[in-house]
Structure 1
């Protein structure tokens, strides 16, 4: 019994009933337009007081509703939002964008017509049945209190047994109304994913949007890893070196502190630029992205301040490089030097070579192999990020031990996919 009452009057049933009432409210303008057509056609001035003419006006208005849904693409997202909130349909089973193709518009029009059709009928019943059911339920009491002065019954109802059954009939009428509303709501909920669900083109667009979002996330992850990771490694080593010679070499400590200040200030600017992408979609941040042309000298200076001897050979004019290539090359050099800082052990030298060969920009970073790069928990993404950057530019990246040294070698085409 409880399950039966929950089916008719539970929270889901009540929300679906509200959804049907909403459909009836949306149907009213179309009914009024139907009256303007039916009245002159049937030569009647009182369409509103004639139930058959009202039903005919309702039938005339429904095709107009279908046309409206087909003409206005936003009908589908609006109806999807109402179905998700009131009918208990999961968001993943509904399309949330405007209908673009004629097939999608046709399904949206069919749904809108069904919503208004069922909603108009249930709304009309909801207006008429409760007063009638209340009258039947109170009929014996009215007759007992006032007799014929309050209620004048037709002959067939002027019987004691009929009066006794009137409250039962009133309750049964309300249950019938609730049953009709529950069945209508269930049918609409079952048809909603079919008529308002995503079409193949919608699924394709959603997949493309997810792929684009994933690409942005990966790019942001690489930028954060390269800029912040390098800065933390450099600042840690600079602070450690300064602490060791604090009492014996004040000049070195002063240089290390200046390098820490420069590194952190620059990294905050890069971090703000990356977070600006998160705040503003894909808009540029407040700080420009570092490039090989404008920032290589500062990167080498900050790295040397960590106590690492860097021997650099630059056989190309960085100003002549394309902006995208210059930016990605800077990040690759930065990550290569960061790996040397983190994993060089007691070795204190690294060799950097940048040049052009066979139409490719070649970047080589070598340091003595005191220990192999470790795969720390949650880390080890630097070499993978370098490989991703090289692959996106149509190049290659190789890293590993070679003749007693750890060698990173990257080849980037001077002209290729940007």
Structure 2
């Protein structure tokens, strides 16, 4: 039964849509070999002293053989591989993930692409020649029993006029067509099997693709952190400010006015940051993502603290920029990531309504290397109701994980958890040697 099924599938394999596309692919290969063949034909004709090389089968075969090394040389160009891979994907039914993307860079991949190019053009030329020569001959043989002129003709089938049975001619014609179809299907299947071997990605290609995916993932993770920190903090702050304003609406209009102003400022800033991040996601440009403006300790910390206090939260802040005396002296990336870590810590506290917050931001040198330390403490969270607790378990945790990722990018660390009866978030970001910072500061002062 299995053998019978295989026999039934043979006509589809030889005449189906995929087989026809592979035949077209082979015909294109034969057409691409023609310039090389014409050039080699001139050389062979000059060497043999013959004007018409095509009149001699040995010289024709010699021209064909001389054309293949020329094709192999041009196959070394880097762009041959992506062009060939595109044609194979479209016509040979080879999955795209098995083929390499982009030009061939190493000499190993160039030689493999050259081998494929030569094989495609060489086999395609043979199939093209068979198609152009054998198909008309097969049609003539099929028509021999029905045409006395064909039986008498000296071209093609004249030998039937010598008494041979003319009804044998159609059988030979059909057999010739079957031979062309079978040869084309076999050649197409062979090229489809060899394509992943010769056009597939090398180890260097896989490494480059992995690095590109990693870089793209890093950019997307950074944009996701920006969105989470900016929008998450804004929603937490606005919710807290609106709730506080609602509770004192009748007895403290001044506080309500300040809360509404803080809500307006928070939402305005957040909409600007959201537009920036969405624009970067839409453009998909990693360079623009790295150059995107972001808030920093130097420029935006005071506003962040003011907006947090506007919601009625008690916030005690101690700042110690260290010998530099100014957050402007911090490296830009450290200032930016530190701001986001502070923002996430405040968002976490506001989201859980954890009461008074104590924040310490300082630069110190515990072992001769400067560090930026951020410590935020607040009362521990109370156990929430069951439904709210389930919601927090399924939606929370991204902020602290994002803060840890930010610190890790700079070689620092983030610790969060209970500490001496309170909840503590502590981040440490390295800033370099203290001696180098002092020299830089002194030079700037001079």
Same fold by TM (over 0.5)?
Answer: yes
User: Could you say which residue in structure 2 is the equivalent of 1:325?
Assistant: 334
Separation in structure 2 between the aligned mates of residue 321 and residue 153 of structure 1, nearest angstrom: 93
User: Could you say which residue in structure 1 is the equivalent of 2:185?
Assistant: 182
Aligned-pair distance for 1:243?
A: 3.1
Contact kept? 1:138, 1:167, Cα under 8 Å: yes
2:258 maps to which of 245, 251, 255: 255
User: Could you say which residue in structure 2 is the equivalent of 1:351?
Assistant: 358
Contact kept? 2:140, 2:156, Cα under 8 Å: no
SS at match of 2:382: coil
User: Could you say which residue in structure 2 is the equivalent of 1:61?
Assistant: 67
Contact kept? 2:152, 2:161, Cα under 8 Å: no
Alignment of 1:190-339 (within 5 A): 190-278=193-281, 279-284=283-288, 288-316=293-321, 317-339=326-348
Figure out how many residues of one structure are paired with residues of the other and give that number. Answer: 411
Contact kept? 2:26, 2:123, Cα under 8 Å: yes
Instruction: List per-residue Cα deviations over 1:316-359 (Å, max 9, x = no partner).
Output: 121111111100100000000000101135x2x21111112222
Contact kept? 2:141, 2:157, Cα under 8 Å: no
Separation in structure 1 between the aligned mates of residue 310 and residue 271 of structure 2, nearest angstrom: 19
Contact kept? 2:152, 2:158, Cα under 8 Å: no
1:16 aligns with 2:27: no
Alignment of 1:42-191 (within 5 A): 42-70=48-76, 72-143=77-148, 154-159=158-163, 162-191=165-194
Separation in structure 1 between the aligned mates of residue 18 and residue 41 of structure 2, nearest angstrom: 34
Separation in structure 2 between the aligned mates of residue 264 and residue 73 of structure 1, nearest angstrom: 51
Q: Residues 16 and 148 (structure 1 numbering): CA distance in 2 closer, same or farther, change over 3 Å?
A: closer
User: Could you say which residue in structure 2 is the equivalent of 1:41?
Assistant: 47
User: Could you say which residue in structure 1 is the equivalent of 2:31?
Assistant: 25
Contact kept? 2:266, 2:307, Cα under 8 Å: yes
SS at match of 1:100: coil
Separation in structure 2 between the aligned mates of residue 215 and residue 270 of structure 1, nearest angstrom: 19
Separation in structure 1 between the aligned mates of residue 222 and residue 156 of structure 2, nearest angstrom: 82
Give ranges in structure 2 of 5+ residues lacking alignment.
1-6, 434-446
Separation in structure 2 between the aligned mates of residue 318 and residue 27 of structure 1, nearest angstrom: 68
Contact kept? 1:74, 1:98, Cα under 8 Å: yes
Contact kept? 1:269, 1:287, Cα under 8 Å: no
1:404 maps to which of 421, 429, 434: 421
User: Could you say which residue in structure 2 is the equivalent of 1:368?
Assistant: 379
Aligned-pair distance for 1:152?
A: 9.9
Q: Residues 183 and 155 (structure 1 numbering): CA distance in 2 closer, same or farther, change over 3 Å?
A: closer
Separation in structure 1 between the aligned mates of residue 133 and residue 199 of structure 2, nearest angstrom: 31
Q: Residues 80 and 128 (structure 1 numbering): CA distance in 2 closer, same or farther, change over 3 Å?
A: same
SS at match of 1:163: coil
Contact kept? 1:270, 1:287, Cα under 8 Å: no
Aligned-pair distance for 1:122?
A: 0.4
Instruction: List per-residue Cα deviations over 1:15-44 (Å, max 9, x = no partner).
Output: 111110110111011011111101111111
Aligned-pair distance for 1:392?
A: 1.7
| TM-score of the pair, normalised by structure 1 | 0.92
Q: Residues 245 and 49 (structure 1 numbering): CA distance in 2 closer, same or farther, change over 3 Å?
A: farther
Separation in structure 2 between the aligned mates of residue 130 and residue 152 of structure 1, nearest angstrom: 12
Deviating more after overlay: 147-156 vs 202-211: 147-156
Q: Residues 102 and 360 (structure 1 numbering): CA distance in 2 closer, same or farther, change over 3 Å?
A: same
Give ranges in structure 1 of 5+ residues lacking alignment.
none
User: Could you say which residue in structure 1 is the equivalent of 2:411?
Assistant: 394
Instruction: List per-residue Cα deviations over 1:253-312 (Å, max 9, x = no partner).
Output: 332222222112211222233234321412336962100000001111111122212111
Deviating more after overlay: 266-275 vs 321-330: 266-275
CA RMSD of aligned residues (A): 2.3
Separation in structure 2 between the aligned mates of residue 132 and residue 146 of structure 1, nearest angstrom: 11
SS at match of 1:288: coil
Instruction: List per-residue Cα deviations over 1:123-144 (Å, max 9, x = no partner).
Output: 111111221111111222223x
Q: Residues 154 and 127 (structure 1 numbering): CA distance in 2 closer, same or farther, change over 3 Å?
A: closer
Aligned-pair distance for 1:242?
A: 2.9
Q: Residues 9 and 391 (structure 1 numbering): CA distance in 2 closer, same or farther, change over 3 Å?
A: same
Aligned-pair distance for 1:206?
A: 1.5
